[in-house]
Structure 1
Amino acid sequence: MTHYDLGKNASTFAGGSRALPIISLDSGLAFERAASAFGQSITQTLEPRLFYLYVPFRDQERLPRFSSAETDFNFAQIFNENLFVGGDRISDAKQLTAAVTTRFIENASGIERLRATIGQRYYFRQQQVGLSNNALGSSSLARGDISRSDLLVAVGGQLSRDWALDSSFQYSASDARFQKSNIAARYNADGGRLVNFSYRFSRESLKQIDISTQWPFGKAAPGWTLLARANHSLRDRRLLEGLIGVEYNQGCWEIRMVAHRFTTATNQYSNSIQIQLELKGLSKLGINPFDTIRQNISGYKRSDDR
């Protein structure tokens, strides 16, 4: 139950209440079988899951909305009891969510070599509660399919010692096209050699590639490491965020130099240059670039930690 009391000074709304029963049933099973792949003994799992949700409709248009927003449709949200974040709106529902996951786990190391999940939500009635005037956002219900949601697919895993993959897709069967996709790959080898690549796509709003690296020069320039990132919008044909820099480790001292550029909320560029000299065990001089480097290069490690 939710009660609002805004006091006598409220210009348009003084108070109100909402009481809603929520009935949900979440069930799942896990099956395992022994298998082998690439000369390794593995365990394959099959994990079906069903989630039933019933929430009756209550007209909430007269209640204030301070912080509620529609959640993104993904595997983190598909098993939630409310379509919205924040408590000002509670979505009505009569639906069943079905998903199945399979994993391939290497027995010797416990590493999850491959993971795949597919899921979909089935509606037994059309949702009525929206953020404003009972209007829904960009969900499959808003696009006209009142019987089922878009299909969600996720594939990932530690493919080898150095390579990892993580990807997710949202496919609309009614439109016969992908609504969203996200593909990320990482190469992380010995000696601090690291490359991240990702591609993000959302129909009508987003199309980006993001590449970052931490790469020692090796014998060509001992002690030197390249640091770089480029986040580029293919739709707008411009750089959203970029970083270029180097590290030099001489054992007892180390220097880092980084140039950083990113787009502000007003579509202007902000530029900065950060230089730091570290005398190990004594002091550090200059601007600390670690936060900037870690935010731009996922998986970054200092040269002494590699």
Structure 2
Amino acid sequence: MKKTCASLLLFSLGWQPVQGQTRSTNAEPQNASDTALLCPTSPVQFSSKQLMSPGEVKVEADSTEILSQRVAHFRGNVGITSDAAIIQADEAQVKNNGRQLEASGNVQYQDAQLQVNSDEVLLDSVSETLNMSNTNYQLNGSNGRGTAQEIDLTSSDGLILSDVSFTTCPIQSRDWMIKASEISIERGSLWGQAKNTRFYVGDVPVFYLPYFAFPVSDQRQTGLLFPEISSSSNTGIDIEQPFYWNMAPNYDMTLSPRLMTDRGVQLKTQFRHLSEQGYSMVDVEYLPSDQDTTNEDDRYFYRITHDGYLNENWTVGLDLNGLSDDNYFVDLGSEYYNRADTHLARTVGLNYYTPDMLLDIHLRDFETIGVQSGSYRTLPEARLRISKPFARYFELSLDSEIAYFDNTDESAPTAMRFHVAPTLALPYQRNWGELTAEATLLNTYYRQSNIEDTELSSEVNRTLGQGRLYGTLYFERDGGWLSDTGTTTLEPKVQYLYTSYEDQSDIGIYDTTVLLTDMESIFRGREFIGLDRINDNNQITIGATSRILDDAHREQFALSLGQIFYLGNNQVESPTQNRDRSALAAELDWRITDRWYFHSDVQIITQTNEVERSSHSLEYRRDAESLVQVSHRYVRELSGETIDQVGLSASWPINQNWHWVGRTYRDLERNRSIESYFGLQYESCCWAIQLVAQRQLSNRFADDGQQSTDEYDSGFGLQFIFKGLGSSKSSRRMLEDGMFGYRQPYNLN
């Protein structure tokens, strides 16, 4: 009897594909700790340790009666355990040589996916059927639960639940529920079907669907995604309904009609393709006849990207972007750009890589937003870097580049530039320090055109010599500054740099800008990024970093100071001309306690004791969702303006159900608000409601291309979420949206 009973139970209790489909009708389970806080009852948990080994079945009962080796009766605390599930009942009967099982009286069925309480369970291995009547079910690991008048499981029809209900709310607080006359899941199908479905809030029916299909696996499937609803002064009421089309296993498309009451209907389309050779994505957004523009203009945006793999050494990349007008992002928003961006990239690249060589060839173009000075594009640009050991102690490297610069302004100069820079280095590295000596020859050739009425030369050949000597030491001692635990380090570093001088006033400015004077840049030995200006140097850079590490070698404190001392005046025009030293660069990262953090980054002009740039932040972080950050940034000179801004970002649970997030930034120079955001959420274990309000500078462009800095855009959003029909935990999404722009501005190991 035990062997035949085992074959029956293994069929009924081990039908994993159908059980998996039943589970997938519920959303992803909540974190157990979150559920415990929000819900008075915890989800049912199931341990596989309760099960038998594969192929074994254990039957326990207070009494057993076997009739003619064909029928077995089990009475009193009956427990039947296989390698897949457990059945408990008051009474059970095995018939037909173990091919049929009937269990009755407080029947409980439990496996890794769900737990079912019913009046009766019937199993038949001949017809391959399982029937449960008058059931209550609970999904393991989550709060998903419900009732069903009957549950039928057959090999031919799959799973059918009659007169079924589903909710994620606890029994004593049924805030919402779904009821259906029938839910069916065919065996092997990726879709379930629901008939005569009613949606209840409390005991009030609020929505009815005669039929709908829903996915029962984690495979990508065609269907509607969750809509997005918001409101702003730019768009009016804004409703976007995405539709996902699973065209093939390796490519798909998302179509998102977007209704804006102030502008009209926009269609957003995203196509994705994946192959062994790479990944491609095409985004197209189109709004015909924008009702909020004077001439009801058609508006569009497109983005095409591709990352390709040709072989183990060659890769190819593509990034093309375009839009209809300067105010597109301001009015309609974007997932890829924000209203402060001034250029859209248009790049095609080919790359070759080996451990000793890196080659990249690019076509770089831009589409400008608003009135910008002429932007140079490289059509094309090729860069080659080779690095190899030389002799026994030396390293030889070669950096070279060839580029052609064209301008969006047809009257601007154009140029072909060829650059080559061989370097011979002698690196010496040990665990107590480092010493490096380098000698570099920098040769750059320009052929410039369209230079009438300028001081530029048609041909320039610039050759410079550069020598660099760099050294650093690592000191350690036990104990911190104010305690005897941990480790304190001191890392002094010094660099001497010499670069010869050559007049460069007859070279145009094509891709060169000034570097910031921070701890990273002062040891680069260059004041410009790009090759059009290479300043002459005769300077010493001195810096030091001190760290405090705790007993687990985590960095608790790090202070860095550095400054360049010029031994002669630069003859190439530079921001440090007529100074004997650079700004003092200082950085501080301090983990004050496990919850308090402080970061500071300052550059000070020591001749006048004026702050050139600074940023500070003080943060209190109690946990992942409870934090407050105060920040301030200052720039003395940026495009003719002073930047002096203070910000406050916060996220804090009011209690276990209420949570708020917010941020505000204020311009102290102009005494006005830059941006404000406030979000409030109520969340229970089975539903949530979010209220969001925001106001920010719109940065709109006028007809002449000039950007306004005085107009504001305000928005309001309301979202209702039923858990189990979407994300099971919603406050984190609101936190991320509300803290957009928030970053912990430093990393402590």
Q: TM-score, normalised by structure 1?
A: 0.81
- Structure with greater Cα Rg: 2
1:175 aligns with 2:608: yes
Alpha-carbon spacing, 1:39–1:49, altered in 2? closer, same or farther (3 Å)? closer
Name which structure has the greater RCO, CA cutoff 8 Å, separation 6+: 1
Aligned 1:87-166 pairs, distance under 5 A: 87-107=531-551, 109-130=552-573, 136-137=574-575, 141-142=576-577, 144-145=578-579, 147-166=580-599
Deviation at 1:212, TM superposition (A): 0.5
- 2:505 aligns to what? 61
**Whole-Å separation in 1 of the counterparts to 2:487 and 2:691:** 47
Structure 1, unmatched stretches of 5+, are: 131-135, 300-306
- 2:493 aligns to what? 49
Deviation at 1:181, TM superposition (A): 2.9
Whether the 8 Å CA contact 1:191–1:216 is kept in 2: the answer is no
**Whole-Å separation in 2 of the counterparts to 1:290 and 1:22:** 51
Alpha-carbon spacing, 1:298–1:272, altered in 2? closer, same or farther (3 Å)? farther
**Whole-Å separation in 1 of the counterparts to 2:591 and 2:625:** 18
1:298 aligns with 2:743: yes
Whether the 8 Å CA contact 1:100–1:118 is kept in 2: the answer is yes
Q: Secondary structure at the match of 1:74?
A: coil
Question: Which of these residues, 642, 653, 676, is aligned with residue 216 of structure 1?
Answer: 653
Question: Which of these residues, 659, 668, 684, is aligned with residue 225 of structure 1?
Answer: 659
Whether the 8 Å CA contact 1:46–1:102 is kept in 2: the answer is yes
- 2:643 aligns to what? 206
**Whole-Å separation in 2 of the counterparts to 1:164 and 1:295:** 19
CA deviation profile, 1:186-241 (whole Å, cap 9, x unmatched): 110036210011122334612221110011111xxx32211111111112100112
Alpha-carbon spacing, 1:237–1:161, altered in 2? closer, same or farther (3 Å)? same
**Whole-Å separation in 2 of the counterparts to 1:40 and 1:195:** 31
Alpha-carbon spacing, 1:120–1:297, altered in 2? closer, same or farther (3 Å)? closer
1:71 aligns with 2:515: yes
- 1:3 aligns to what? 445
State the aligned residue count: 280
For 1:213, give the aligned amino acid: A
**Whole-Å separation in 1 of the counterparts to 2:480 and 2:607:** 38
**Whole-Å separation in 1 of the counterparts to 2:667 and 2:548:** 35
**Whole-Å separation in 2 of the counterparts to 1:37 and 1:48:** 17
CA deviation profile, 1:276-305 (whole Å, cap 9, x unmatched): 444445447xxx877743423336xxxxxx
Shifted more, 190-199 versus 157-166: the winner is 190-199
Alpha-carbon spacing, 1:266–1:289, altered in 2? closer, same or farther (3 Å)? farther
Whether the 8 Å CA contact 1:53–1:94 is kept in 2: the answer is yes
1:251 aligns with 2:685: yes
Whether the 8 Å CA contact 1:243–1:296 is kept in 2: the answer is no
Shifted more, 262-271 versus 160-169: the winner is 262-271
For 2:495, give the aligned amino acid: F
**Whole-Å separation in 1 of the counterparts to 2:743 and 2:681:** 17
CA deviation profile, 1:1-31 (whole Å, cap 9, x unmatched): 3333456xx3446443333233222211110
Alpha-carbon spacing, 1:18–1:295, altered in 2? closer, same or farther (3 Å)? farther
**Whole-Å separation in 2 of the counterparts to 1:36 and 1:289:** 40
Whether the 8 Å CA contact 2:679–2:734 is kept in 1: the answer is no
Whether the 8 Å CA contact 1:92–1:128 is kept in 2: the answer is yes
CA RMSD of the aligned region, Å?
2.6
For 1:75, give the aligned amino acid: M
Whether the 8 Å CA contact 1:212–1:228 is kept in 2: the answer is yes
Structure 2, unmatched stretches of 5+, are: 1-418, 420-443, 700-706, 728-732, 745-749
Whether the 8 Å CA contact 2:512–2:529 is kept in 1: the answer is yes
For 1:34, give the aligned amino acid: D
Alpha-carbon spacing, 1:277–1:55, altered in 2? closer, same or farther (3 Å)? farther
For 1:110, give the aligned amino acid: H
For 2:690, give the aligned amino acid: R
**Whole-Å separation in 2 of the counterparts to 1:87 and 1:294:** 38
**Whole-Å separation in 1 of the counterparts to 2:559 and 2:696:** 35
**Whole-Å separation in 1 of the counterparts to 2:558 and 2:473:** 16
Alpha-carbon spacing, 1:278–1:87, altered in 2? closer, same or farther (3 Å)? farther
**Whole-Å separation in 2 of the counterparts to 1:32 and 1:81:** 28
For 1:227, give the aligned amino acid: V
Whether the 8 Å CA contact 2:562–2:584 is kept in 1: the answer is yes
Question: Which of these residues, 593, 614, 620, is aligned with residue 187 of structure 1?
Answer: 620
Alpha-carbon spacing, 1:39–1:280, altered in 2? closer, same or farther (3 Å)? farther
CA deviation profile, 1:125-149 (whole Å, cap 9, x unmatched): 111223xxxxx33xxx34x43x222
**Whole-Å separation in 1 of the counterparts to 2:534 and 2:690:** 50
- 1:133 aligns to what? none
**Whole-Å separation in 2 of the counterparts to 1:276 and 1:91:** 57
For 1:44, give the aligned amino acid: T
Question: Which of these residues, 35, 47, 66, is aligned with residue 479 of structure 2?
Answer: 35
For 2:654, give the aligned amino acid: F
Alpha-carbon spacing, 1:45–1:213, altered in 2? closer, same or farther (3 Å)? same
Whether the 8 Å CA contact 2:480–2:488 is kept in 1: the answer is no
Deviation at 1:244, TM superposition (A): 1.2
For 2:742, give the aligned amino acid: I
For 1:262, give the aligned amino acid: Q
Question: Which of these residues, 665, 670, 673, is aligned with residue 239 of structure 1?
Answer: 673
Name the % identity. 26
Q: Secondary structure at the match of 2:521?
A: coil
**Whole-Å separation in 2 of the counterparts to 1:266 and 1:257:** 29
CA deviation profile, 1:36-56 (whole Å, cap 9, x unmatched): 566662100010001221111
Q: Secondary structure at the match of 1:41?
A: coil
- 2:194 aligns to what? none
CA deviation profile, 1:106-134 (whole Å, cap 9, x unmatched): 01x3222211122111101111223xxxx
